Amino acid sequence: MKLGTSLIIGGLLFALAIVVGLLAPWLAHTDPVMDANLMNAEEPPSWLWWFGTDAQGRDIYSRVVYGARISLTVGIVSQLVNSVIGVTLGLSAGYFGGWWDDIVNGLTNLMLAIPSLIFALAIMAVLGPGLTSLLIALGLTNWSFTCRIARASTLSLKSQGYVQAARVLGYGDLRIMITQLLPNMLGPIIVIGTLGMGSAVLAEASLSFLGLGIRPPFPSWGSMLSEARDQITTAPWLSVFPGLAIFLTVLGLNLLGDGLRDILDPQSRSRRT
């Protein structure tokens, strides 16, 4: 694929999801929760009901639009938490080494050994369903990949001439980590971050599907899928549209991650100019 194409497509998809989420009150045709009308139950997609209606007669289009808010909030916030935890632990472990490295390594391996969805389920079970507990659960369970990448990057960057040079020029440890190491590992971290956002969106869907995330009647793409599973043969539009929304958002995030890596690498930047 030509350089920049994936960035543009991914960026547009992700931007679309964000705009839809932000403008939900204006874009939605009806209130996603309150406007139930059994007279309109399970209408297929039409000019009136763009994405059809569900068993309670609620407009799927409006619910998908509002669902973007929850899915994106969970995706972005929980991945930010993951990135901060992962980078902090991985960078410091790789830089200082020794017993701290051993501890972080052990913890990372432990996290990788536990299926993250099961771990998130356990946290949700303790905290109870809801947006805040979702953010906590997903924010604490997915940092191990970021941590590994950050640690590995640190180990390879540490021996680079400019890191040595910085030390010779009197930089302190923190300054070396922030000005020399962090910017040079940002590429892979951002790629992992956007991919992680995608998987956080999926994890939210899974948890909600399992009934531990966002509870009905509030619309999240996952909870909508969960409600739709009984009617998948009789009213497929109930699952298709939330599923499509998840698919496009995650695809957009993955393409965006790819495209960002290309422009964040200064060497490829000069190749283009």
Write out the residues near other proteins by the rule CB under 8 A. 160-162, 164-172, 175, 179-180, 183-184, 186, 266-267, 270
Nearer of residues 233 and 267 to other proteins, judged by Cβ: 267
CB 138 within 8 A of CB 212: no
Cα 5 to Cα 1, 26, 31, 253, 255, distances in angstroms: 7, 30, 37, 13, 9
Nearer of residues 39 and 168 to other proteins, judged by Cβ: 168
Least separation in angstroms between residue 83's CB and other proteins is 18
Nearer of residues 59 and 262 to other proteins, judged by Cβ: 262
Least separation in angstroms between residue 79's CB and other proteins is 22
Buried b (16+ CB within 10 A) or exposed e, 160-183: eeebeebeeeebeeeebbeebbbe
Give the sign of the dihedral formed by CA 241, CA 244, CA 250, CA 251.
negative
Nearer of residues 18 and 182 to other proteins, judged by Cβ: 182
Least separation in angstroms between residue 97's CB and other proteins is 11
Tokens of 228: 């739709």
CB 146 within 8 A of CB 82: yes
Least separation in angstroms between residue 63's CB and other proteins is 43
